[in-house]
Amino acid sequence: MGSQINKLSKKTWLVTGAAGFIGSHIVEQLLRVGQKVVGLDNFSSGNEKNLENVKQNVGFHYSNFSLVKGDIRSKEICDKVTESVDFVLHQAAYVSVQGSIDNPELTHEVNVNGFQNILHAAKKNNVKRFIFASSSAVKVFESNDDSLVSRQTSPYALSKYMNEKMAETYSSTYNIKTIGLRYFNVYGPRQSLESEYSAVIPSWYKKILNRESPQVFGDGLSTRDFCFVADIARANILAALCDLHMDMHKVYEIATGESKTILQLYDFYRNNFPSSSLAPRPEFVAKREGEIRHSVANIDPAKKDLGYLPKYRIEDGLSATVKWFSENY
């Protein structure tokens, strides 16, 4: 994890969405280095099995973890869980682009109103730093009268853009230090196969288990920056620990800094199955509404300010992911 994290004195951390895919990996990394962690989750998408997996992996360190079952849409809950906390790592959200198009009201309730609740509670309880999950979906530009203007292509992307602006406003108005981390395409162990809106890697695995052809939306030549979940978790901790004399509010892009086409990803994916014959050729279907064509992170600022460097190549990350899926499904 890096010497900065390994030498960390004991602090108290709140992880929202603690039973989720990314949240549970953050909890695990913190517990491994002797930190005290409070988790908040309403289990709308989080899974108790994720926390059971964490418990198995960290052993006696799990005694430093406490779980609050609650919802960020409750101001009272947010006030309670931020008491006596040093850092907040906010992951709880409604995370699907397509789901947000189908249900924009819920997206706003959770991602905007809920975000303000937890941010305001952190301010009220004098939390040292508020780290939150943003998204590469915020970073979409289009040409307008010979200039580039930002454009959000889904209610989900809009909600994350609003999070960044709200955090910036709270920082300048109330002097709370905030850092947004724009995740790109996160994958890894514990990613759900069950969601209607599963990300591409678990949805492919589910298709293959059912002897069906995995779907590729569009022509397969769209590019994405795929980042292993352990790197995302480490970035959150580094963001909380970086120089506290930095700007009150910053946003960083977190991924690998390298893009792959969807078809390249599928080739890597097939190579990680015991027999490539188990992974048939993909089925090409119409591209989804709200999807962007090309996406790659600029991680130079995160390298410079946070000391962030991705540790996992796509080959290594996919190998670990497919192995975990095969052992757990």
Residue-wise pLDDT for 76-132, tens only, equals 999 999 999 999 999 999 998 889 999 999 999 999 999 999 999 999 999 999 999
Mean pLDDT of 306-328: 92
- In the predicted structure, residue 145 carries a pLDDT above the cut 80: no
Rank 149-158, 189-198, 235-244 by mean pLDDT and report only the highest.
235-244
Range scoring the smallest mean pLDDT among 73-77, 183-187, 247-251? 247-251
Residue 329's pLDDT band (boundaries 50, 70, 90)? confident
Q: Which residues of 282-314 are buried (b: 16+ CB within 10 A; e: fewer)?
A: beeeeeeebebeebbbebeebeebbbbebebeb
- In the predicted structure, residue 142 carries a pLDDT above the cut 60: no
Please answer whether residues 227 and 184 qualify as being in contact, where contact means their C-beta atoms are separated by less than 8 angstroms.
yes
Quote the CA–CA distance of 260 and 264 in Å, as a whole number.
6
Q: Is 154 inside any structural domain?
A: yes
The answer to whether residue 156 is catalytic is: yes
pLDDT in tens, 226-251: 999 999 999 999 999 998 566 799 99
Residue 156's pLDDT band (boundaries 50, 70, 90)? very high
pLDDT in tens, 9-27: 999 999 999 999 999 999 9
Q: Is 145 inside any structural domain?
A: yes
Three-state DSSP class for residue 205? helix
- In the predicted structure, residue 40 carries a pLDDT above the cut 60: yes
Tell me the CATH number at 109. Answer: 3.40.50.720
Please answer whether residues 256 and 225 qualify as being in contact, where contact means their C-beta atoms are separated by less than 8 angstroms.
yes
Please state whether 218 falls in left (phi above 0), alpha (psi between -120 and 50) or beta: left
What is the per-residue pLDDT for 143? Answer: 46
Q: CA triplet 116, 120, 123: central angle to 5 degrees?
A: 145
Quote the CA–CA distance of 139 and 118 in Å, as a whole number.
24
Q: Is 195 inside any structural domain?
A: no
pTM of the model: 0.92
pLDDT in tens, 282-312: 888 888 776 778 889 999 999 999 999 999 9
Q: Is 288 inside any structural domain?
A: no
Q: Is 215 inside any structural domain?
A: no
Indicate the DSSP class of residue 109.
I
Indicate the DSSP class of residue 203.
H
Mean pLDDT of 126-151: 76
What is the per-residue pLDDT for 1? Answer: 44
- In the predicted structure, residue 278 carries a pLDDT above the cut 80: no
| Of 278 and 236, the one with more pLDDT | 236
Quote the CA–CA distance of 278 and 285 in Å, as a whole number.
21
Tell me the Cα Rg of the chain: 19
Candidates 264, 261, 190; CA nearest to 23 is 190
Strand 185-187 versus strand 226-228 pairing type: parallel
Q: Is 97 inside any structural domain?
A: yes
Q: Is 194 inside any structural domain?
A: no
Helical segments of the chain, H only = 3-6, 21-32, 48-58, 75-81, 97-102, 104-108, 115-124, 155-174, 200-209, 229-241, 262-271, 300-306, 314-328
Residue 207's pLDDT band (boundaries 50, 70, 90)? confident
What is the per-residue pLDDT for 69? Answer: 98
Report CA-CA distances (Å) from 259 to 197, 201, 224, 264: 22, 15, 5, 10
- Tell me the percentage of the chain whose pLDDT exceeds 70: 91
Arithmetic mean of pLDDT over the chain: 90
145: its two tokens: 């009268």
Quote the CA–CA distance of 239 and 5 in Å, as a whole number.
11
Q: How many CB atoms lie within 10 A of CB 115?
A: 23
Please answer whether residues 43 and 69 qualify as being in contact, where contact means their C-beta atoms are separated by less than 8 angstroms.
yes
Range scoring the smallest mean pLDDT among 77-86, 136-145, 179-188? 136-145
Q: Which domain holds residue 65?
A: 3-186+228-257+297-311
Q: Is 119 inside any structural domain?
A: yes
Could you say which of 156, 205, 269, 312 is catalytic? 156
What is the per-residue pLDDT for 204? Answer: 87
Q: Structural domain tally of the chain? A: 1
What is the per-residue pLDDT for 288? Answer: 76
